[in-house]
């Protein structure tokens, strides 16, 4: 996959906060979820699709390796 296809979707916390605020001002509703997707499978894809369907845009936070060791 080309780096350009996803690079613009990886945001700093500051930029994310601005984007969320702007989209909320436009009347959109965001949905937040997080997880560990190292071994991405069909269940993950379906979960993310369903989460996205709950609002107008999806915010996905990826757990760090350190945080997943505590699960």
The pLDDT tens digits for 4-23 are: 677 888 999 999 999 999 99
Q: What is the mean pLDDT of residues 47-58?
A: 97
User: Which are the contacts of 34, defined by CB distance < 8 A and separation ≥ 6?
Assistant: 60, 61, 62, 63
Residue 36 has pLDDT above 80, yes or no: yes
Q: What is the mean pLDDT of the chain?
A: 92
pTM for the full predicted model: 0.79
For residue 61, with 0-12 CB atoms within 10 Å meaning exposed, 13-18 middle and 19 or more buried, which class applies? exposed
Q: What is the mean pLDDT of residues 39-46?
A: 95
CA 18 to centroid of chain Cα atoms = 15
């Amino acid at each position: 996959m080309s780096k350009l296809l996803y690079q613009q979707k990886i945001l700093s916390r500051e930029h994310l906060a601005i984007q969320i605020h702007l989209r909320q001002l436009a009347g959109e509703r965001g949905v937040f979820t997080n997880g560990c997707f190292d071994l991405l499978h069909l269940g993950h894809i379906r979960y993310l699709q369903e989460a996205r369907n709950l609002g107008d845009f999806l915010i996905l936070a990826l757990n760090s390796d350190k945080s997943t060791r505590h699960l």
